[in-house]
Each structure stands twice: as structure tokens, then as C-alpha cells.
Amino acid sequence: MLFVLVAVAILAAITIAAMSPLWYGQTSSTASSSLSSSMQSVTPSGTLLSLSGTIPLPSTQGRIDHMTVDLGRRLLFVAGYGNNSVGMVDLKSGRLVGSIGGLSNPQGVVWVPEAGRLFVSNAGDGTVNVYDGNSLAPTGKITLSGDADNLRYDSSSRFLYVGYGSGGIAAINTTTNSVTTVRALSSHPESFQVQAAGKTVFVNVPPSNLIATFDKVTGTSISNRSMTGSNFPMALDEAGGRLYVATRSPSELRVLDTSTPSLRSVANVTIAGDPDDIFFDAAHGLVYVSCGGGFLDVIRQVDANHYSIVQTIATGAGARTSLWVPELGSLYVAVPAGFSQQAKILIFSFGLPGASSTSSSSSSSSTSTTLAPIPTSATLSVAPTRGPSGLLVTLTGSGYYPGARYQVCVGGYGNASCGFEYTSADYLTTIDEFAFMGSFTADSAGNIPAGTRMAIPDLFGRGYSVGVVRDGESVFFTSANFTVVSPTISVGVVRVLSGGQVTLTGSGYAPSTTYTACMVPVGTVDCGYTGDREETPPGYHLGTFTTDANGNIPPGTVVTIPIQPPGQNAIGAFSLSGGFILLSEAQFTIYAG
């Protein structure tokens, strides 16, 4: 009976030649036809990526997710989210040679050579399926709470980490297929990276606007780092101390310094839209970002703190996922099926200038950029010159280089660079992520384009300097002053019954903007933040409110006071994005009924 069950499981999971054309696929040469000839490169070696092969994925429909490779057999495994299957591509022959079916929206896939097993995570049912490396027969299944997503293997511990559910990273022992530790997170994690020699796991948590870090062995929290812009993909240069994070709004590559507890930002580079995979190529000093907008960006590391795009290669709509395999010197990009076009894998390699591909050429197919030059006499004006965080201000100015792109950020009043200093109980750091406002490209006359508007970031009420810098740098070459004005909040009473309700009133907020209301101990500037500022007591979330068109708290905004012992407290208005920028507070005394 056991033999029969195993046989049935194998037949259900693996499609072979007699049952499906996917086993052998359709014979196709890996030779390419035409990629845009306008690609340029300024890499030190003079090399550039070129399309060296195309592998069709017949019968593959819908979204394609992540990939892994078995180097011993030269097999590329491709998660077919839309097909509920994992495709097996023979890199030697350039063909799709098999398929593992019966999955539930597979997202992550990892080959673990030490265990000789393939692990596949499923978004649909929250499971991680385990397959024998030789027969690809199912050998186990780990069930999580839901939406099993990215996978990362740590060869030093032989643990496989998986992000899942509404907020968690589980460590799976790849020898026993059992969950050993779980780290809870505030919301669903996206890409994450595990240090090989170190102890830290870095996790993108975009719903909470955070990068969370924790100990990979104990699961204990190390810190949280606030982010903006929907941070999804991530890559780690552990030896160089750099973390690469791509955001989708705006589309940027952000380079962070892992040697500082605050993950200090050292560079920002504008990239194509909808980034989903990043890889760092240490041998060539390059960063690869594959983007669903249909482009692959190649970014050169000038040095640890300076980066510039050297290639933008047209790939195909929805080609979000990729895999860099340094042992093969190739980058594999998955292109999903589109209108009258089947899905395929594009293979990019070095040393083949002039190679072509099936991608069509257009005016946006390729660019080459460097850091924007520094103007000698640029001006900047901000209007209005004062207001609350979140306020949209209009920027004007002239004297910039025509067509050059510049960043706008905020520094402490009188400072000459982005960011402001924050002193915690243990260290002094510069927080610059919160200070980023946006970017602009000067028009043909060297002016800031008419109608350029940006929001003042979440900051404490005081004076600041809004400055213009080059991409990847932080030193202002021109700036203007702006005062962040604290809004008002009132509960209308001085004594509140424990468990009772109060009505909030106030004005001076950014119009039509959502804020968090928290009850906090008097003098506390955090509301439930668990990162750098753990030395302050947490607050109680009471709810949110959205201001009207005039920046007022809407009439009838009521919150309930939690059951607490008698004593002095305060209700504060906090920025929604981080929960730790206190904008204003109203003090009161809780009394027992």
C-alpha cells in the first residue's frame, strides 16, 4: 500500500513525456536575435551585459515568480505562480524539460544541495513543499499560517528561512523538515537577506514601512529601520557592508550601510518601475535590478557610497523576477506570456557586445547615466515657508544643468547636508531616510520644472533646511529654510474616566491627511515603536483620523480611553507612516469610576 501511495504522489507531482508536452518542451536554440543596439557601458573592464540566449517556456501562463538553480545538473527551477507549477529548465540544452504540478501559487523556490532537496513555498495555502532531489517525489510539507513567500537558505546553519502570513519569518531545519524558530513581524514580509558570517537577518516589511532586523539563531529583535516608498526587493553585500533595497514609489535603489545600527542611507539611484529582484555582482562591482516595467537596470558601484546606472536593457512587460548565478556568469530574467507571445527565460552574459534579442527597440529601450553635475549658481525657493509635516510645497529655482536629475531632502536648520542627528541611549546617528522629499529633472533652460511640488516629510516641529543634492550624495549646494509648525489637539476636558470616551478637536494639520491618535505617558514621543527608541515607554493606539480640506480634525472624532490606573496621561497626534513622530499632545488625568 505504501508503495502505491508513493507512486501515485510522484505521478501527480511530475509531468513526464507520455503525459505532457512540458517534459521535453519544444526544441529551440538558445541563440538570440536582436537586443537594442543603443546599450552603453562605462564599467571599468569595458564589458557590458548582452543577451546570450533565450529559452521558451511553452504552456506557461500568468505570473512567474522566483527561481533557483541546481549547479550540479545545470537545472533551473522556475516558480510558475499562475500555472500552479514549478518548471524545470535544462540549461545545457536550453529547453523546458519538466514540470512539478499540484502546487498552490508557488512563489519561492530553493535548491538545497547539502540536503539534496528542492523546497517550494506556496502563497495559496501557506505551505512549503519538499521534494527529493533525484526523483523529485514529494518528501514533506511544512504548513504555515498562510501566504508562504520568499525563501533564503543559510548554508552555515542549514536552516531555510521563509517569510509568510500576516507577519512572520520561520526557520526550517532542512535535515528534519521541521520549524525551529519563528520571528513575528508587524505585517507580511517581502524580500529578506541572511548574513552568512554574521548573525543578522534583514527583512523588508513594506506594509509597515520598515526594514526589520533580528538574530537568525534566537529570533530576537535587533532593530527596526523606517522606510518610505514601498520597499520590496533586497540584496546584501555582507563583505562590503552594504544593503541594497529597491522601492516602488518612487522607483529607486537605496543603498544602506549595515555597519551602523540605523542602517544609514549612503546613496539613492532612480531605476525603472516595479522592481522585484536585486543581485549584487561583487566580481564586476555591479548591481542588477529586474523591473516589471519591462527593463533590467545595471548599476555600477563607483565606490561604496556612489552608484550610477550604466545600462538599462529592455526585457518585457512583467519581467520582474531574475536570478544571478555567479558560477555560470549569467543573469536569468523571467518574462511572462503576453499578447501573442509565449513566456521565456532571457539569459544575459558578459563579453558579447552586439548580441541581439527578441526585445523590440524604442526610444526608452536603453539609457546611460552618471551623477548629475553640481551647478555653480543654482537657486531654490520653497512656498509656503512654514506649515505641518505632510504639507505639499512648491519648489522653484534656476541655474541647474539642463536635463540633469537632482534629489531634494531636508536637514536640520543651518545644516549643509541631508538628515538630522538623533541621540539614543547607546549611540549618535544621522537619520536621513525620513528627510527625503523627492527628485526633479531640470528643464532645457536649467530651471526646476514649473509645478514641482513635494510633501514635507514627517518631522518634529522646528526649523529645517530644504536642500538640493546630487544623486547618491548628501551635501547641499543650495538650500532654503522651512519651519515645521506643530498642529493643535484638544480633548476638551482635564479629567477622563478610565474606559470612557473623549472628542478630539484640532487644526493646523496637512489637508486631507491621515494621522494616528495614541494615548502615551506625558513626555513620550513614541507610540508603539520597537526599534532604536526602545528606551521610551510604548503608547496605546486609539485609532486614526483624516483631516478635512482645511487641515482640521473632523467634528465628532471620538476615541475610547483604554482601561488604565489613575494618573496623568496624554493623547497625541502622530504621523501615520512611522508612529513615532509626535506632532501635538493634549494632557489629562485618568480617574477611576
DSSP string, 323-379: EEETTTTEEEEEE--BTTB-EEEEEEEES-TT---SPPP-TTS-----PPPPPSS--
- In SS3 terms, 494-506 reads as CEEECCCEEEEEC
- 552: number of Cβ within 10 Å: 17
Cβ within 8 Å of residue 55, ≥6 positions away:
28, 30, 89, 91, 94, 95, 96, 344, 345, 347
Residue corresponding to grid cell 521610551: 536
What pLDDT score does 241 carry?
A: 96
Q: pTM higher than 0.85, yes or no?
A: no
Instruction: Indicate the length of the chain as a whole number.
Output: 593
Taking alpha carbons only, the member of 170, 145, 143 closest to residue 159 is 170
* CB-CB neighbours of 18 under 10 Å: 6
Element (H, E) at 13: helix 2-13
CA-closest candidate to residue 359, choices 6, 17, 20, 34:
34
Q: Quickly tell me which residue has 527608541 as its cell.
A: 533
Angle at 334 between CA 324 and CA 310, to 5 degrees: 55
Q: Which residues contact 281 (CB under 8 A, 6 or more apart)?
A: 287, 288, 324, 326
Q: Are 231 and 247 in contact (CB under 8 A)?
A: yes
Spans of the chain below 70 pLDDT: 1-47, 339, 351-371, 420-434, 471-472, 523, 525, 528-538, 577-580
- Domain 381-484: state its class: mainly beta
Q: What is the pLDDT of residue 432?
A: 58
Long-range contacts of 76-81 (CB under 8 A, 24+ apart): 76/323, 76/332, 76/345, 77/109, 77/111, 77/118, 78/109, 78/334, 78/345, 79/106, 79/107, 79/108, 79/109, 79/120, 80/106, 81/105, 81/106, 81/107, 81/123
Closest CA to 466 of 456, 265, 450, 398: 456
Q: CA angle, 105 as apex, 136 and 191 as ends, to 5°?
A: 95
Residue 323: its pLDDT value, please? 98
Q: For residue range 572-585, what is the model confidence (pLDDT) as tens digits? A: 888 775 556 788 89
Residue 178's beta-bridge partner residues? 173
CATH architecture entry for 495-591:
Sandwich (2.60)
What single-letter amino acid sits at 121?
Answer: S
Extract the C-alpha cell encoding 299.
548599476
Give the residue range(s) of CATH 2.60.40 domains in the chain: 381-484, 495-591
**CA torsion angle 82 87 91 92 (round to 10):** -140
pLDDT value, residue 504: 96
pLDDT at 434: 64
